[in-house]
């Protein structure tokens, strides 16, 4: 773990709350020891997504210490600078990002979904399914479509233009 930790001059958490107090006590303990990095910090901490490297490693910063982290949620370049909740335990090889801290009712400006095989969107009687071969199936009570290639239509009745 010491290979992935470097000193950084970023100030992370500016608000004083219970989490900060708990984390600060853990940091004081770790700073008083001879260890480098996050080894003596246990539990959940607030950190900042610092960078995503060219080889897709997520770097976080906590209290002027940077470390490589794993994530159980999607973390993209758009998330750099955001606060995240991180699980740190001595039994884990790296800190784990549990989630990103976001304002209530925030919606992304752009949303991309990726899947290896299939993406299915369902809402009531409406279903859109896409697969990796480039096939898109649309089902619903009424369907409006436009295609740049062949447009095959099945239905009880078909109305064109």
> Which residue is associated with the tokens 């239509």?
153
Same domain, 92 and 135: no
Write down the pLDDT at residue 14. 34
Same domain, 95 and 122: no
Same domain, 65 and 139: no
Find the domain containing 78 and state its range: 2-100
Give every strand in the sheet of 126-131, ordered side by side.
Answer: 118-123, 126-131, 136-139
Residue ranges of the alpha helices (H) in 1-158? Answer: 18-32
State the Cα–Cα distance between residues 16 and 48, nearest whole angstrom. Answer: 16
Question: In total, how many domains does the chain have?
Answer: 2
Same domain, 24 and 79: yes
Same domain, 96 and 141: no
Instruction: Please check whether residue 106 lies inside any domain of the structure.
Output: no
State the Cα–Cα distance between residues 122 and 110, nearest whole angstrom. Answer: 20
Same domain, 47 and 125: no
Distances (CA, A) of 52 to 14, 49, 161: 23, 8, 48
Write down the pLDDT at residue 100. 92
Same domain, 74 and 138: no
Chain CA centroid to CA 7, Å: 24
In this structure, the number of other CB atoms found within 10 A of the CB of residue 129 comes to: 14
Write down the pLDDT at residue 23. 52
Write down the pLDDT at residue 49. 95
Instruction: Please check whether residue 160 lies inside any domain of the structure.
Output: no
Tens of pLDDT along the chain (161 residues)?
Answer: 333 333 333 333 333 333 444 455 555 544 433 344 555 567 888 999 999 999 999 999 888 888 899 999 989 999 999 999 999 887 888 889 999 998 777 677 788 888 999 999 999 999 999 999 999 998 999 987 778 898 887 888 888 77
Same domain, 48 and 90: yes
Write down the pLDDT at residue 40. 58
Write down the pLDDT at residue 156. 86
State the Cα–Cα distance between residues 66 and 51, nearest whole angstrom. Answer: 10
Distances (CA, A) of 144 to 118, 120, 139, 161: 22, 18, 11, 10
Q: What is the dihedral of CA 137, 142, 144, 148, to 10 degrees?
A: 30
Same domain, 16 and 68: yes
């Amino acid at each position: 773990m010491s290979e992935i930790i470097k000193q950084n001059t970023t100030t992370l958490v500016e608000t004083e709350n219970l989490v900060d107090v708990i984390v600060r006590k853990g940091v004081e303990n770790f700073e008083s020891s001879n260890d480098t990095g996050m080894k003596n910090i246990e539990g959940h901490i607030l950190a900042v997504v610092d960078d995503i490297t060219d080889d897709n490693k997520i770097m976080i910063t906590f209290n002027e210490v940077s470390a490589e982290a794993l994530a159980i949620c999607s973390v993209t370049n758009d998330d750099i600078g955001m606060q995240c909740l991180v699980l740190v335990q001595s039994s884990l090889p790296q800190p784990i990002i549990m989630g990103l801290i976001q304002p209530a009712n925030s919606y992304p400006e752009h949303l991309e979904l990726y899947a290896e095989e299939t993406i299915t969107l369902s809402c009531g009687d409406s279903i859109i399914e896409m697969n990796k071969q480039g096939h898109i199936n649309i089902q619903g009570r009424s369907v409006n479509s436009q295609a740049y290639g062949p447009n095959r239509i099945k239905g009880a009745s078909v109305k064109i233009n």
